[in-house]
Amino acid sequence: MSELRKDPISGRWVIIATERSKRPDDFRPARGVGEAPASAGFCPFCRGNEGKTPPEVFALRDDGTPADSPGWRVRVVPNKFPALNRGTQASLHTRGGIFEWMEGVGVHEVIIENPEHGQELADLPVGHVRDILGVFAQRIKTIEEELHYQYVQVFKNKGKEAGASLSHPHTQIVATPIVPKRIEEEIYGARRLFRSFKKCVFCRIIREERESGERVVHLNRHFVVIAPYASRFPFEVTIFPLRHSPFFADLNEEELGSLALTLKTTLIKLKETLSDPAYNLVLHKSPNPVLARKRWPDIDRHYHWHFEIFPILTKVAGFEWGTGYYINPVPPETAAGFLRKK
């Protein structure tokens, strides 16, 4: 069983594996481990290997095909060896002093995006991307029914430099009993600026970016893709919905289709501009709506969900770790210019 420990100064939570490693040399990088095997000869996510995953919790599959057999288009399975385990409500404990901890309770699921090993999100038909995004919404809604999960994080690591251990396209979902610090910081910032502007700050950013256009990568009826003004990384992009909403799972059918097209377009632009880079994609959304509205009664008005995509082109090193500043060698205006042309 793992536990969550809170750094008393920064308020940052860390998942600590309490089953400890035996020897320091276990932490040496192991050849082969952690790499995305392109031709390992076996992949537990491929069609026909359904028996090697835990039983599916959700799948889009052909009519009449039984669970955990071929015939699926998108398949969701719990993590076989999760960092956090499902459980009852996690409670905050102390060790008698200032150190706080919680049980490592959570949900860890893997969304296998398609049965083909080599077909990445950018390569799939728009309709299939829409199906995957619909599954994100379905899983978020289902997990948020359990109120002890305060936040549901959807993220994708594509390529070994982005942290993927397997090249078969997949997205992960981790639900935690606390709101992550990064999300809390965004909510606090958005609340503060909502009080100043009397309007959602994300909506204001979208308006100003559309007016200037210099950092806009793509725009359609429902979504805008921008290279953020203070991008931390080269070619970082954010996808914002034009309709204000803190809740990703509130997307209607038309918006879902439009998001699929927007996401695919963005990923193709990144792929063609940067020669198929590794990337991380993260969804930032409101915490569990029931809990969020209790804690931040005006969250419906001040928070605005979005996707962030970070191509892995540089490494976070000592200066960034030490200061929290990032050095970005590509101005977002330049990045947006290149991406617009593709």
Partner 1 sequence: MKKILVVEDEKTLCLLYAEELGKEGYAVTAAYDADAALAELKKKSFDLIITDIRMPGKNGVELIAQIMGLRKDIPIIINSAYQSYKEDFMTWAADAYVVKSSSLDELKTKIKELIGR
Catalytically active residues are: 170
Contact between 52 and partner 1 per CB under 8 A: yes
Contact between 153 and partner 1 per CB under 8 A: no
**What's the start-to-end Cα distance of the chain, in Å?**
48
From 75-83, 116-124, 183-191, 201-209, span contacting partner 1 (CB under 8 A): 75-83
Residue 331 burial (10 A CB sphere; 0-12, 13-18, 19+): middle
Exactly one of 4, 133, 140, 166 binds partner 1 (CB under 8 A); that residue is: 166
Nearer to partner 1, 43 or 242 (CB): 43
SS3 300: helix
Contact between 24 and partner 1 per CB under 8 A: no
Give the count of alpha carbons within 13 A of 103, CB side only: 13
Tokens of 4: 């969550």
Please identify which residue in the block is written with the tokens 């998001």: 259
Contact between 147 and partner 1 per CB under 8 A: no
From 43-51, 144-152, 192-200, 325-333, span contacting partner 1 (CB under 8 A): 43-51
Instruction: Cite the DSSP H helix spans in the chain.
Output: 126-144, 181-197, 201-212, 253-274, 289-295, 299-302, 318-323, 332-341
Nearer to partner 1, 139 or 168 (CB): 168
Contact between 23 and partner 1 per CB under 8 A: yes
Contact between 17 and partner 1 per CB under 8 A: yes
Exactly one of 91, 94, 165, 252 binds partner 1 (CB under 8 A); that residue is: 165
Burial 217-247 (b: 16+ CB within 10 A, else e): bbbeebbbbbbbeebebbbbbbbbbbebbbb
Q: Which are the contacts of 57, defined by CB distance < 8 A and separation ≥ 6?
A: 76, 77, 78, 109
Exactly one of 41, 318, 322, 329 binds partner 1 (CB under 8 A); that residue is: 41
Contact between 80 and partner 1 per CB under 8 A: yes
Contact between 83 and partner 1 per CB under 8 A: yes
Task: In angstroms, give the least distance from the CB of 48 to partner 1.
Answer: 10
* DSSP label of 54: P
Contact between 329 and partner 1 per CB under 8 A: no
SS3 167: coil
Q: How many residues bind partner 1 (CB under 8 A)?
A: 31
Distance CA(29)–CA(7), nearest Å, equals 27
Contact between 32 and partner 1 per CB under 8 A: yes
Binding site for partner 1 (CB under 8 A): 17, 19, 21-23, 26-27, 30-34, 37, 40-45, 49, 52-53, 80-83, 110, 165-166, 168, 170
